[in-house]
Amino acid sequence: MGIGWHFFKEGAKKFTAGKFTSVPFLQAAKGPLAEQYKNSIPDRFGLQRLNVNQTKQFWENYRDHVASRLGFDQKQTTAATQIVDRYVKRMNNFVAENYEDIDTYRKEVQRYLGELKEPTSDIPYQRDRLAAKEVDLRKQVGPWLANVDDMNRALQAELNGLATEGQRSRGLVVIPDRNQPATDGVVKWVVLGAGVLLLLGLFTRVAALVAMGFLLSVIGTQPPWVPNANLEYFYYQMVEVLALFTLIVFAAGRYAGLDYIIYGLMNRRKEPTL
């Protein structure tokens, strides 16, 4: 129940404490699996968001979604198209003003990705140098992506602002985050669901196995044997992993949870009839 309560609180927090994203967590990954974790970030280096054509297509898709969701009439749809066209021009101007710097940044990213594939990338000196290089690249692209984010928020406000009072009752149509890992939604429900099931003692073995797998995936981002790994949470996580393994072995839900009822019913069906 203690572990279940911890998972439940952490899962609930991911739903209630504003927008949840695992990007900073994944970016900090170290060790042999670091690249797999980092590559799960859809636009890891921001190159898609800095691409005018891709951004134009993204905004047009969002415009169509807003129009469909809120039920825009022809006049509103035309106005929405004009708004998007204005933002595309703004994006074009922004990229044109920073073209040389952005182009240099693209080449540096390609060079960095090439160096990651070299056999020498696992040498401690090279590994540290490449890690520092990625941090520098994120700092370099940060102000540009912040500008694109500002345009996204402004576009969202303008398109939703076209809605009539009746249409606003359908809710705000939020612009998607192009850098949101697909696993974020799964993580929220896995953590919350595992917590609820462990608290109830329902499907205890399955819940404990899922929770243990999740914790091991978290530990995998900062393996304790990797230099400079963040071990702030490692020890309590390992304690919970061992406790969850114990729950799997002994199926505690059969003795102090709803699994007791399910297990009893299953045993009744197995009893031979006279």
How far from the centroid of its chain's Cα atoms is residue 38's Cα? 11
Return the structure tokens found at 56. 């134009």
Would you write out the chain's pLDDT as a tens digit for each of its 274 residues?
A: 899 999 999 999 998 877 889 999 999 898 889 899 999 999 999 999 999 999 999 999 999 999 999 999 999 999 999 999 999 999 999 999 999 999 999 999 999 999 988 988 878 888 889 889 999 999 999 999 999 999 999 999 999 999 999 999 999 999 999 999 989 999 999 999 999 999 988 898 999 999 999 999 999 999 998 888 889 889 999 999 999 999 988 877 777 778 778 777 666 665 555 4
Burial code of 175-194, b = ≥16 C-beta within 10 A, e = fewer?
beebbbbeebeebbebbbbb
**Measured at the alpha carbon of residue 32, what is the angle toward residues 28 and 36, in degrees to the nearest 5?**
65
Q: Is the pTM of this model over 0.85?
A: no
Assign residue 14 a region (left: φ > 0; alpha: ψ between -120 and 50; beta: otherwise). alpha
Residues listed for the chain = 274
